[in-house]
Amino acid sequence: MIRKRKAVLISLDTANKKATTDESLKELNQLAFTRGIETFNSIVQRKEKPNAKFFIGKGKVFEIKKFCENNHIDIIIFDDDLTPAQQKNLEDTINVRVIDRTRLILDIFAQRAKTQEAKLQIELAEKYYQLPRLTGKGKTLAQQVGNIGVRGGAGEKKLEVERRRIRDRIAHLKKEIEKIKHHREIQRTKRQDVPVPVVSLVGYTNVGKSTLLNYLTCPTSPVRRAKSRKDGAVYADDKLFATLDTTTRKIKLPGGKWVLFTDTVGFIKKLPHQLVAAFKSTLEEITRSDLIIHLIDIMNPNHKESEKTVLNVLKEIGADKLPVINVYNKCDLLKSRGNSNNNEYIHISAVTGSGIPELLTLTDRKFSENLEYKKISVPYDLISIIDKIRMVGKIIDYEPCKNYAKLKILIDKKNWGQIEKFLNRVH
C-alpha cells in the first residue's frame, strides 16, 4: 500500500480573525484531501505583517523544521501565496518541499482536466505561475550559453533562454485556446437560426452543480453523484473541483420550452489570478447565458461568504447584470427547512429531487416574463418551423387553411427576431 504524503498546513493571521482563518484552513485541508495529501497538523501564526524572507517569523520556521523532522512530514502547504524567494528560503531552511495555495489548486486542476481545452488552460496557468519562479534556481540557470567565436560580450544566460521558452509557450497556448474559442463562436452562430435559451449553473466549488445536472438529465436514476461518465452522466464527487470541463444538457421545462443547462467550473476564495486569466474564455460562456442559477450549499456555515465570492467573480467577468435564481442546495441534510418561506431563495436537494419541480417552474416563469403574442402564417412546405417554435416558445392556436396554417404563438423578442428573419427569407 502506497503511503499518502503527510502535510502541515500553515496560515498567517494578520487581521486577528480566528474564525476566518480557521475556515480558510478547513478549505485548504479539503483541497489537500482532493489532491490525495493527508493533513497531519495545522499551524497558525498571528503576526501584524508577513516576514519578507520567510513569510512567517524566523522562530516559527525553526519550530516547524523540528516538527517536520520528528513527524516525517513530506510537504508544507501555505494558505497564502509565497514569493519565489520566500519559497526557496523556506525549502533551504526546513529541507521539505514547500508549496502555496495557488500551487495546490493548480495541481488539482492539472489532475482533473479532461478535455483538450481544459488541459491547454491549465498549462497556460502553470506557465504564468512558473515564469517569476525561475529566479533562485541556483547556478544551473545562471550559466551562459554559446556565442562561441562571437565578439561583443558574454552569451545569453540559461535563465534568459528558459524565460524566453516559457513566454513562447504562453503565446502558443493563447493562440490554441483562441482557436477553440473561435470554433465555439462558429458553432454558436450556427445555432442562432433559432437560439435555445441557456441557463448557467454557477456556485462555489462542491455545491452540487454536477449532481443537479445529473438529476435534471435523468430524474429516475438512483445515482446522483456519478463516479464515472457512463450513460452520459456528469462526473460528480464530494470533492473540491470534481469537474472542470463545461458540460451542457438540453432540458424540457414544465411549460414545454426547451433550454440548455450548462455546468460551469466552481469558484473558490483566493482563486488564483493565473486561473482566472487562463479560464477567461470558459468563464465568458457564463456571460452568454440568458439566466443564471446560483447554487449555494446550505450546510456550509459560511455560505454567505461563499455567495459573496461567487458574486465577485461574476462581476469580474461581466455577468453580474444577468437575471439570477438563488438556490439553497443540500436541504435534505437539514433537520429544519428554516427559511423556506424566503421568496429570494429556492430550497432543493439535488440528490433526492426535493424542490427541483419548483425550481424548474420558476425557471419557466423567468423565461415567460418577456414573452409576446405573435400571429404568423406558415406555408405547409415550411411546416417544420413549428417544431422550432415549440422549442423556444408556445403555440397558442393552430388554424389550418388551404395552402398554409395560421398560428398564434407566444415567444420572446430574441427568438421572434430569428423566426421572423427565417420566414421573410423564404417568402
Domain at 11, CATH number: 3.40.50.11060
Global pTM reads 0.72
Instruction: Lowest mean pLDDT of 146-155, 176-185, 308-317, 325-334, name the range.
Output: 146-155
Output the 3-class SS for the chain: CCCCEEEEEEEEECCCCHHHHHHHHHHHHHHHHHCCEEEEEEEEEECCCCECCCECCHHHHHHHHHHHHHHCCCEEEECCCCCHHHHHHHHHHHCCEEEEHHHHHHHHHHHHCCCHHHHHHHHHHHHHHHHHHHCCCCHHHCCEECCCCCCCCCCEEHHHHHHHHHHHHHHHHHHHHHHHHHHHHHHHHHHCCCCCCEEEEEEECCCCHHHHHHHHHCCCCCCCCCCCCHHHCCCCCCCCCCCCCCEEEEEECCCCCEEEEEECCCECCCCCHHHHHHCHHHHHHHHCCCEEEEEEECCCCCHHHHHHHHHHHHHHCCCCCCCEEEEEECHHHCCCCCCCCCCCEEECCCCCCCCHHHHHHHHHHHHHCCEEEEEEEEEHHHCCHHHHHHHHCEEEEEEECCCEEEEEEEEEHHHHHHHHHHHHHHC
User: Do 346 and 217 have their domain in common?
Assistant: yes
Give the best-scoring range by mean pLDDT among 7-16, 111-120, 267-276.
Answer: 7-16
Please tell me which residue, 182 or 152, carries the higher pLDDT value: 182
Residue 232's pLDDT is 55
Confidence tier at 149 by pLDDT (50, 70, 90): very low
Residue 242's pLDDT is 58
102-109: average pLDDT: 88
Structural domain tally of the chain?
Answer: 4
Domain-embedded: residue 408? yes
pLDDT above 90 covers what percent of the chain?
A: 25
User: Do 55 and 203 have their domain in common?
Assistant: no
User: Do 282 and 235 have their domain in common?
Assistant: yes
Give the best-scoring range by mean pLDDT among 138-142, 234-238, 391-395.
Answer: 391-395
Q: Are 78 and 100 in contact (CB under 8 A)?
A: yes
User: Do 211 and 356 have their domain in common?
Assistant: yes
pLDDT above 70 covers what percent of the chain?
A: 81
Confidence tier at 413 by pLDDT (50, 70, 90): confident
Distance between CA atoms of 359 and 33, rounded to whole angstroms?
33
Domain-embedded: residue 142? no
129-146: average pLDDT: 61
Confidence tier at 227 by pLDDT (50, 70, 90): very low
Confidence tier at 139 by pLDDT (50, 70, 90): very low
Domain-embedded: residue 360? yes
User: Do 315 and 375 have their domain in common?
Assistant: no
Domain with 55, as residue range(s), is 5-108
Domain-embedded: residue 145? no
Instruction: Lowest mean pLDDT of 22-31, 214-223, 359-368, name the range.
Output: 214-223
User: Do 247 and 307 have their domain in common?
Assistant: yes
80-93: average pLDDT: 92
User: Do 224 and 363 have their domain in common?
Assistant: yes
Please tell me which residue, 204 or 155, carries the higher pLDDT value: 204
User: Do 126 and 60 have their domain in common?
Assistant: no
Q: What is the pLDDT of residues 303-329, one digit of tens each?
A: 888 888 888 888 888 888 888 999 999
Residue 370 has pLDDT above 80, yes or no: no
User: Do 375 and 361 have their domain in common?
Assistant: no
Residue 289 has pLDDT above 80, yes or no: yes
Residue 240 has pLDDT above 60, yes or no: yes
Domain-embedded: residue 143? no
Domain-embedded: residue 313? yes
Domain-embedded: residue 148? no
Mean of the per-residue pLDDT values of the chain: 80
User: Do 104 and 17 have their domain in common?
Assistant: yes
Q: Are 198 and 288 in contact (CB under 8 A)?
A: yes
Residue 237's pLDDT is 57
Domain-embedded: residue 31? yes
User: Do 404 and 355 have their domain in common?
Assistant: no
